[in-house]
């Protein structure tokens, strides 16, 4: 969890916000607490969606559908306000890692855990389908592992089977490559059998640690799902037989969720869970997270603070397949004796705090905001240009005339695509010009070349990435930047794709200024065979308090990512 930024809300509806859990193409997810003490996950949509009446109508229908899903093994919707200036929805908070995070950290799950996992998810899908709904995005990151059993989350793209409205828009696919059923990929629509296919892929991932359809690009994944048989590794016995049945190309040949549940747990999933279903390492992790949650409340977050502007921008609509963002990632160890506590609102800016103070810097905004944006300042970290929140076309256009750099970020049809050369940051002079555009970005050699990396770049940065011009979600990017000189190893960039696969790039510093860092990159020798090992160039550009990552690797779809400081 990350602390709240200065331009983020502290109160949404009746909920006090304690920190930010994640961000995605549809909005941000916060940890919240009701007046009665209940902990919730509050999902707030990006404000530019609030200007779209068609989106509001879809959001209203999806919230109504999600409210109906109240069975076991799902995170129930507790509250929502689709009519708010910025729509939001609150669901029960689950203390536990996602399946993708658990497998990435600890490898495949034990057979008993996989059986309980599959039985719980099967019962959840049974309840969903009985309501005439189809989830359409069952994948490891949408499954949480709690002490009380697995939870299926994020019904953000669920759809009533009898409805005609779709959450798709031009250039946006619904579902996740490697877990979408063949009929979804071929545009034949999604049914309950499509969810069963995804369930089979999730079970294979949990049991083997890899997707049954591995690949180094989304195009390869989609092709394999449609044309090739799944790779089930060391799965054996009835688990392998069940996964094969769920992954049948013909929807009619797949079992129903009810049949899957009875196959795995004839006496019900609850009996398997009651006996202790998680391995000891995960039990310890979840328990530690629960203690941190209590410490967070005990430490207290200032009450009575008015909610600030909701500082979102217009990211790629396709990022995350229209989801609200990643599931909460539980920290592995407490931060300090009282657990993680967000910075006080009146704390001095990070750049003015002496390094010896030990204060943990806030990660900054994940993206340029409709309410507040940033342009590079003298120190390279950026100066903030604040604007009042005005969710209206007239207000938005007024801001654009004053701060032209916003024009690039606020284009509704742009889908977050960066058309400037290698994602260069706008020059500071562009913010004072009424005629400048995003194309007025500085050249690659702008600024005074430095021999070592400025302190403003140092630390660990992480964020969600996209490829193919922002139309395709590309997993999570993470890098730790050290204080090195030109020609020295800068760090290792780790990409974790939506399937949990990891590829590492070794970065070597080529050039650095206060406003731009250029590095050569090559695949690490420890990479899997599916990773791209070819040399390419990476740029990191300060944008406000974040770094924008851009790669010129056409083999990887020229990925970009918005990275926030996390350590």
pLDDT tens digits along 406-454: 333 333 333 333 333 333 333 333 333 333 333 333 343 447 889 889 9
- Average of per-residue pLDDT across 272-299: 78
pLDDT of residue 442: 38
- Average of per-residue pLDDT across 293-313: 46
pLDDT of residue 175: 61
Least confident of 68-77, 235-244, 282-291: 68-77
Find the distance separating the first CA and the last CA of the chain, reported in whole Å.
Answer: 11
Q: How many CB atoms lie within 10 A of CB 412?
A: 12
Closest CA to 263 of 74, 110, 115: 115
Closest CA to 230 of 300, 179, 157: 179
pLDDT of residue 335: 36
Which helix (DSSP H) or strand (DSSP E) does residue 68 occupy? helix 53-68
The tokens describing 308, both together, are 């600030």
Least confident of 52-61, 302-311, 448-457: 302-311
Closest CA to 261 of 126, 76, 458, 456: 126
pLDDT of residue 254: 96
| 116-120, 179-183, 321-325, 438-442: range with highest mean pLDDT | 116-120
Whether 564 contacts 326, CB under 8 Å: no
What is the DSSP secondary-structure string of 195-253? HHHHHHHHHHHHHHSS-SS--SSHHHHHHHHHHS----TT--HHHHHHHHHHT-SSGGG
3-state secondary structure 281-339: HHHHHHHHHHHHHHHHHHHCCCCCCCCCCCCCCCCCCCHHHHCCCCCCCCCCCCCCCCC
Establish whether 137 is a catalytic residue.
yes
Regarding predicted confidence, which is higher, 21 or 431?
A: 21
Taken in order of first residue, the domains within the chain and their CATH numbers are 11-285 (1.10.510.10), 350-440 (no CATH), 455-565 (2.40.128.20)
Closest CA to 517 of 347, 376, 356: 376
- Measured distance CA(356)–CA(475) in Å, rounded: 34
pLDDT of residue 93: 85
pLDDT of residue 315: 36
pLDDT of residue 117: 96
- Average of per-residue pLDDT across 160-165: 40
- Measured distance CA(382)–CA(173) in Å, rounded: 34
257-264 helix and 111-130 helix, angle to the nearest 10 degrees: 150
Closest CA to 465 of 457, 473, 455: 473
Q: 129 burial class (0-12, 13-18, 19+ CB within 10 angstroms)?
A: buried
Q: Is 483 annotated as a binding residue?
A: no
Confidence of residue 85 (pLDDT cuts 50, 70, 90): confident
What's the mean per-residue pLDDT of the chain? Answer: 73
Specify which residues 438 forms β-bridges with: none
CA distance to 294, 351, 490, 562, 565, per residue, from 477 (Å): 30, 24, 15, 9, 12
pLDDT of residue 218: 80
pLDDT of residue 387: 34
User: In what side-by-side order are the strands of the sheet with 11-12?
Assistant: 11-12, 15-23, 27-33, 39-45, 88-92, 77-81
Residue 485 DSSP label: B
pLDDT of residue 536: 93
Least confident of 92-106, 111-125, 154-168: 154-168
Instruction: Tell how strand 372-375 and strand 143-146 pair up.
Output: unpaired
Q: How many CB atoms lie within 10 A of CB 87?
A: 22
Closest CA to 322 of 472, 165, 547, 532: 472
Confidence of residue 155 (pLDDT cuts 50, 70, 90): low
pLDDT (tens digit per residue) in 474-488: 888 999 999 999 999
pLDDT of residue 71: 64
Task: With a cut of 80, say whether residue 167 has pLDDT above it.
Answer: no
- Measured distance CA(34)–CA(38) in Å, rounded: 5
DSSP, collapsed to helix, strand or coil, labels residue 194 as helix
DSSP, collapsed to helix, strand or coil, labels residue 557 as coil
- Measured distance CA(391)–CA(408) in Å, rounded: 18
Regarding predicted confidence, which is higher, 465 or 549?
A: 549
Q: What percent of the chain has pLDDT over 70?
A: 67
- Measured distance CA(57)–CA(48) in Å, rounded: 14
- Average of per-residue pLDDT across 273-295: 82
Least confident of 46-50, 163-167, 281-285: 163-167
Specify which residues 518 forms β-bridges with: 511, 539
Least confident of 37-46, 170-179, 409-418: 409-418
Match 């650095």 to its residue by tokens. 512
Task: With a cut of 60, say whether residue 367 has pLDDT above it.
Answer: no
pLDDT of residue 140: 92
pLDDT (tens digit per residue) in 513-565: 989 999 999 998 888 777 888 899 999 999 988 899 999 988 788 899 999 88
Whether 396 contacts 388, CB under 8 Å: no
Regarding predicted confidence, which is higher, 110 or 163?
A: 110
Catalytic, out of 6, 137, 195, 546: 137
Task: With a cut of 90, say whether residue 4 has pLDDT above it.
Answer: no
Give the predicted TM-score (pTM) of the model.
0.53
């Amino acid at each position: 969890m990350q602390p709240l930024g200065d331009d983020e809300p502290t109160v949404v509806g009746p909920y006090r916000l304690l920190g930010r859990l994640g961000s995605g193409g549809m909005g941000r997810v916060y940890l919240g607490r009701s007046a009665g003490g209940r902990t919730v996950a509050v999902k707030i949509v990006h404000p530019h969606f609030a200007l779209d009446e068609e989106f509001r109508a879809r959001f209203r229908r999806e919230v109504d559908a999600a409210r109906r899903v109240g069975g076991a093994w799902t995170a129930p919707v507790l509250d929502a306000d689709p009519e708010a200036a910025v729509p939001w929805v609150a669901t029960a908070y689950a203390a536990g890692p996602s399946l993708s995070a658990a497998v990435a950290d600890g490898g495949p799950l034990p057979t008993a855990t996989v059986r309980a996992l599959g039985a719980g998810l099967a019962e959840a899908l049974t309840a969903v389908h009985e309501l005439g709904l189809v989830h359409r995005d069952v994948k490891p990151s949408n499954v949480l592992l709690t002490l009380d059993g697995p939870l299926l989350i994020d019904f953000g793209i669920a759809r009533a089977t009898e409805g005609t409205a779709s959450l798709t828009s031009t250039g946006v696919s619904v579902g996740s490559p490697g877990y979408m059923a063949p009929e979804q990929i071929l545009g034949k629509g999604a049914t309950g059998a499509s969810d069963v296919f995804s369930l089979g892929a999730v079970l294979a991932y949990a049991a083997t640690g890899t997707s049954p359809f591995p690949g180094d690009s989304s195009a390869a994944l989609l092709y394999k799902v449609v044309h090739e048989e799944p790779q089930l590794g060391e799965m054996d016995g009835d688990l392998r037989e069940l996964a094969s049945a769920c992954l049948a190309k013909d929807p009619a040949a797949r079992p129903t969720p009810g049949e899957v549940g009875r196959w795995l747990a004839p006496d019900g999933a609850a009996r398997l869970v009651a006996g202790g279903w998680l391995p000891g390492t995960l039990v310890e992790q979840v328990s530690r997270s629960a203690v941190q949650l209590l410490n967070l409340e005990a430490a207290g977050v200032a009450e009575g603070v008015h909610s600030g502007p909701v500082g979102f921008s217009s990211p790629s609509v396709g990022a995350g397949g229209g989801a609200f963002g990643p599931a909460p990632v539980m920290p592995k160890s407490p931060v300090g004796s009282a657990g993680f506590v967000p910075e006080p609102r009146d704390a001095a800016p990070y750049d003015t705090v002496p390094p010896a103070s030990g204060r943990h810097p806030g990660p900054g905004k994940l993206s340029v905001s409709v309410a507040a944006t940033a342009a590079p300042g003298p120190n390279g970290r950026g100066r903030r240009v604040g604007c009042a929140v005005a969710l209206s076309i007239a207000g938005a256009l007024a801001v654009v005339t004053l701060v032209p750099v916003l024009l690039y970020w606020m284009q509704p049809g742009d889908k977050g695509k960066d058309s400037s050369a290698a994602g260069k940051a706008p020059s500071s002079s562009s913010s004072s010009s009424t005629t400048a555009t995003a194309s007025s970005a500085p050249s690659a050699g702008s600024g005074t070349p430095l021999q070592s990396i400025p302190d403003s770049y140092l630390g660990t940065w992480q964020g969600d990435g996209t490829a193919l011009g922002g139309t395709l979600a590309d997993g999570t990017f993470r890098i730790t930047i050290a204080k090195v000189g030109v020609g020295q190893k800068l760090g290792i960039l780790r990409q974790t794709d939506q399937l949990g696969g990891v590829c590492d790039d070794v970065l070597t510093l080529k050039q650095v200024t206060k406003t731009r860092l250029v590095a050569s990159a090559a695949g690490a020798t420890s990479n899997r065979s599916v990773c791209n090992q070819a040399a390419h160039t990476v740029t990191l550009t300060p944008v406000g308090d974040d770094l924008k990552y851009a790669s010129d690797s056409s083999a990887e779809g020229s990925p970009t990512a918005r990275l926030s400081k996390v350590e």
